[in-house]
Amino acid sequence: RRAFDVLVVRGTRVLGLPGLAAGRALGKAVVLQPELNGEMSGEVYTWGTPLHVPAVRRVVEAAVAGRNFFLRDADAFVAMSRAIAAEFRRAGVGPERIALMPHGVDTARFRPASAPERRGSRTRLGLAEGAMVVTYTGRLLRGKGLETLIEAFGVVAAGEPRAHLMIVGSGEGQTLSIETALRESVRSRGLEGRVVFTGRVQAVEEYLWASDVFAFPSVFESLGISLVEAGACGVPAVGARTGGIVDVIEDGGSGLLFAPGDATGLAAALGSLLADPGRRERMGARAREIVRERFDLDDSVSRYAALFRELRG
């Protein structure tokens, strides 16, 4: 009990109330940090779909409001995005207790590849010369929008024979895994030769170095550290206009945004970037600038340290 001063509770859905109770019992300062947008508003419990049955909607809203009444007793609330900060305010949290602190990445590790590094990565990954590579990195779970990505890529692939999709990550061992369904979707669309599932990898940056465009179609995302890593590597991104994604992608500047779940819009955005290498280069450079300005790991660590010192008193 004496070994720490601050208890950080990651995720309010399950751990929020017990974490707060534990902190209070131990006499420690408590920081709440949602993992996903929609946790404080309750949208995450219905996957963003409006509840059209009034009685059910009232029950959910009452339960969330009751829970938030107790959660407001925490000492500080860390928001990884502006969307989550807004949720805190709507839940009745005073602005003086809200800290906007997005996660950062190591911009020395995640950096643009040199020409030899890019060629080497593409060779090691078995990519044909001239291949146009769209990449997703992250877990293969429900809510990540990957069904939409595969549908959209099918449209892109039909019009661009050089297009390939790398899905970097796994859903193995995860309750919300949809990896099996995604693989079946690829097979049913006849895309086996154009889509690669890599499984879990260690050197994520090597896959980003081989990429032309990064796709991030997630429906619920507090920030999207994979998206930040891609930006640090100078890869322009196409992302869903939701949650913390809009804090990372400057629409028309460092990438393009589309409506969540809109496969047609995603396909159009991917196709437009694949067709314009000059635009990709400009957007990639801007993406790197944004990450260095807002999402540098050292800056993120400094902000957390300052918050903990303040709470310790």
| Per-residue pLDDT, 152 | 99
Tell me the pLDDT tens digit for each residue of 34-64.
Answer: 998 889 988 887 766 666 678 877 888 899 9
CATH class of the domain whose range is 115-294? alpha beta
Diameter over CA atoms, the chain: 63
With residue 133 as reference, give the H or E element that holds it: strand 132-137
- Do 87 and 40 meet the contact criterion of CB atoms below 8 Å apart? yes
Report the distance separating Cα 175 and Cα 251, nearest Å. Answer: 33
DSSP label of 289? H
Tell me the pLDDT tens digit for each residue of 105-141.
Answer: 999 999 999 999 999 999 999 999 899 999 999 999 9
Strands, DSSP E only, in 191-291? 195-199, 213-216, 237-240, 255-258
Could you tell me the strand order of the sheet in which 76-79 lies? 6-10, 29-33, 76-79, 98-100
Which residues contact residue 91 at a Cβ distance below 8 angstroms, ignoring those fewer than 6 apart? 40, 41, 68, 71, 72
Give the pair of three-digit tokens for residue 259.
């409506």
Domain limits, the chain: 6-104+297-312, 115-294
- The stretches of 6-81 forming alpha helices (DSSP H) are 16-26, 54-71
Any idea which architecture 6-104+297-312 has in CATH? 3-Layer(aba) Sandwich (3.40)
Instruction: Output the CA torsion sign for 235, 238, 243, 246.
Output: positive
| Per-residue pLDDT, 52 | 67
What residue ranges of the chain have pLDDT lower than 50? none
Query: Same fold for the domain at 6-104+297-312 and the one at 115-294?
Result: yes
